[in-house]
Amino acid sequence: MSDNQPENIIGGKSFTAVAVNCASKAGEWIKSKMGSFTQLDTKYSMHDLVTEVDKGSERMIRNLIGTHFPHHSFLGEEGVEPGPEASAKALMDMSDSEYLWIVDPIDGTTNYVHGFPFFSVSIALAYRGQVIVGVVYDPSRDEMFVAERGKGAYVRGRKIQVSEENTLSQSLIATGFPADHHIALPANMKGIQALAPKVRNLRIAGSAALHLAYVAAGRLSGFWEYNLSSWDIAAGSLLVEEAGGRLSDLNGETYHIGIRNVSASNGLIHEELLEELELAKASQ
């Protein structure tokens, strides 16, 4: 199938098949390398890690996508200079792309390095800026989360839906400790302090993409994080939307691929979550 046929534009099966194949191959490979990587470096800060496995996984995904869709654009974390400004600029520079693959080759590298089995491969395809395919693969549990715009969200072929909690007090909420410890971490700490007494419990498991997949699967009621990059959110955003949830920035603006301060939820607790974060001044 050629990649420029109009019928392939929205949720074309070949796009999804390629995304799933890439996530599966890369995921198996990173899992096989766990505990035996040889190069550990820091990037933006001492909290931002990278190994040769992150780079190899991205190369593998880029090559596979390039083989199938040589005219598509590719934005992967390891091809961009470290830091929030560079990642925002890289996305801006590609904003005119018709088809743009947005890839995090290992989301949760700190977990990966420590052998904590909560990390993922995140692959999204955006068409004129709108995500149309989102795949998040957890190789540790062999869970492939797949969404196509308009066609629902699935894990291992089973349709998933967001949870039904309608108050924060019944909710299990996740967030993340960002690599930026100057602005993002203090902002997130305010949110954590405000929300901890109000929710059923908080989780900070270390992979934003997998947290979003868990919101989609109803395993988490909601998630927020400050200053993420497009590759952390894009694939998970479609999973949440297609599973019936809501995604916005921390001021309530509807999600688009440029959003960095993100809140995702089952929809029912969204306003309450945003209000608490706003009261805590965690949205600034």
Residues that bind ligand IPD (CB under 6 A): 104, 107-109, 176-179, 206-208, 225, 228, 232
CA–CA dist 35, 32 (Å, integer)? 9
Query: Could you give the CA distance from residue 199 to residue 242 in angstroms, rounded to a whole number?
Result: 25
Selection from Ca ion, ligand IPD, none that 207 binds (CB < 5 to 8 A by kind) is ligand IPD
How many angstroms separate the most distant Cα atoms in the chain? 54
Nearer to Ca ion, 106 or 212 (CB): 106
Amino acid occupying residue 53: V
Residue 245 interacts, among ligand IPD, Ca ion, none and using kind-specific CB cut-offs from 5 to 8 Å, with none
Shortest Å, Cβ 227 to ligand IPD: 7
Q: How far is the CB of 130 from Ca ion (least distance, A)?
A: 21
Which amino acid is present at 101? W
Strands 201-203 and 172-174: parallel
Question: What residues from 99 to 128 belong to the interface with Ca ion (CB under 5 A)?
Answer: 104, 106-107
Task: Render the burial of 103-112: b for 16+ CB within 10 Å, e for the rest.
Answer: bbbbbbbbbb
CB of 193 to Ca ion, least distance (A): 24
Neighbours of 23 (CB within 10 A): 27
Q: Which of residues 61-80 bind Ca ion (CB under 5 A)?
A: 77
Choosing among Ca ion, ligand IPD, none, which partner's interface includes residue 179 (Cβ < 5 to 8 Å by kind)? ligand IPD
* Complex with Ca ion: residue 217 or 235, whichever CB lies closer: 235
* Single-letter amino acid code for the residue at 234: A
Instruction: Enumerate binding residues for Ca ion (CB under 5 A).
Output: 77, 104, 106-107, 232
